[in-house]
Amino acid sequence: MSHFVDIRDLHFGYNERAILSGLTMQFERGKVIAVMGGSGSGKTTVLRLIGGQITAQSGSVTVDGQEVAALDQPTLYQLRRRMGMLFQHGALFTDLSVFDNVAFPLREHTALPESAIHDLVLMKLHAVGLSNAASLKPSEISGGMARRVALARAVALDPQLIMYDEPFAGLDPISMGVTANLIRKLNDALGSTSILVSHDVNESFLIADHVYFLSQGRIVAHGTPQQMRASDDPYVRQFVHAQADGPVPFHYPGRSIDELLGLTNQS
Partner 1 sequence: MMDWLASIGSQVRGGLANLGLQMRTLVAMLRASSGLPRRLRLVTDQVHFIGNYSLVIIAVSGLFVGFVLGLQGYYTLNKYGSEQALGLLVALSLVRELGPVVTALLFAGRAGTSLTAEIGLMKATEQLAAMEMMAVDPLARVLAPRFWAGVIAMPLLAAVFSAVGVLGGYIVGVVLIGVDEGAFWSQMQGGVELCADIGNGVLKSVVFGVAVSFIALYQGYVAAPTPEGVARATTRTVVIGSLMVLWLDFLLTALMFS
Strand partners, 34: 196, 211
Residue 190: φ, ψ to 5°: -90, -10
Please state, in angstroms and rounded to a whole number, the distance separating the CA atoms of residues 5 and 31: 11
Kindly indicate which of the ranges 35-43, 59-67, 84-92, 116-124 contains the residues binding partner 1, using the contact rule CB under 8 A: 84-92
Binding string to partner 1 for residues 137 to 156, with x set by CB under 8 A, is what? -------------x--x---
* Of positions 13, 22, 38, 105, contacts partner 1 by CB under 8 A: 105
Distance of closest approach, residue 91 Cβ to partner 1, in angstroms: 4
User: Considering only 27-35, 77-85, 207-215, 248-256, which stretch makes contact with partner 1 by CB under 8 A?
Assistant: 77-85
What is the spatial distance between Cα 134 and Cα 125, in angstroms, rounded to a whole number?
Answer: 8
If the CB atoms of residues 18 and 91 are measured against partner 1, the closer one turns out to be 91
> For partner 1, which is the closer residue by CB, 78 or 243?
78
Distance CA(147)–CA(144), nearest Å, equals: 5
Chain positions 52 to 71 lying near partner 1, rule: CB under 8 A, are 53
Say how far apart CA 153 and CA 127 lie, in whole Å. Answer: 11
Strands (E), 117-253: 161-165, 193-198, 210-215, 218-223
Residues forming contacts to partner 1 in the complex (CB under 8 A) are 51, 53, 73, 77-78, 80-81, 83, 85, 87-89, 91-94, 104-105, 108-109, 150, 153
